[in-house]
Structure 1
Amino acid sequence: MSVHVIFEPTKCQGYANCLIEAPEIWDFDEENNRAVLRLTEPDDALRSKAEASARCCPAQAIRLEERTP
């Protein structure tokens, strides 16, 4: 099973906790003060980082969805 990252940019408040937890998955747009999702389908090696980035978002702008192949 793989994980799919769902990001709602309008909810993002620019804390950048996701970027701190998973810089492989996230970037930050300083002009708009919000996170940018770079990788919607992280591989298994990044799964725990994707989970951490969703867990640490105070605005709850990130959620994960399980995908079956």
Structure 2
Amino acid sequence: MSLLITDECINCDVCEPECPNNAIAQGEEIYEIDPNLCTQCVGHYDEPQCQQVCPVDCILIDPAHPETQEELHQKYLVITGKA
């Protein structure tokens, strides 16, 4: 599954530079995660880096975009050009 940022986001700017897939960008009011680019850091790290640095724990699994670990890995391969 991709991740999503809830409205508890305080726009602290720490998550965006941590994303290896450039899936996080400033939205109209809070940061947003592009589900087409989010791999939960599969292929890059053992844990999602944005969740690790978020001071308010507002980055959660997005139930609207279910994906298996294998699907996340395949997305990583496509995004990085290793497919």
> When the two structures are superposed, what TM-score results if normalisation uses the length of structure 1?
0.62
- 1:44 corresponds to which residue? 42
Q: Kindly indicate whether the alpha-carbon contact (under 8 Å) linking 2:4 and 2:60 is maintained by their aligned counterparts in 1.
A: yes
Percent identical pairs in the alignment equals: 13
**SS of equivalent residue, structure 1 residue 17:** coil
- Determine which of 41, 51, 54 is the counterpart of 1:54: 51
Larger radius of gyration: 2
Are 1:19 and 2:16 an aligned pair?
Answer: yes
Q: CA deviation at 1:50?
A: 6.3
Query: Which runs of 5 or more residues in structure 1 are unaligned?
Result: none
- Higher percent of residues as strand: 1
21 and 58 in structure 1: CA distance in 2 versus 1, 3 angstrom threshold: same
Deviation digits for residues 24-62 of structure 1 (CA, Å, limit 9, x no counterpart)? 120112x42x1111136417334x286111111111111
Q: CA deviation at 1:15?
A: 0.8
Select the structure with the greater relative contact order (CA < 8 A; seq sep ≥ 6).
Answer: 1
Q: Find the aligned partners of 1:13 and 1:52 in 2 and give their Cα distance.
A: 17
RMSD, aligned CA: 3.1
Runs of 4+ in 1 over 6 A off after TM superposition: none
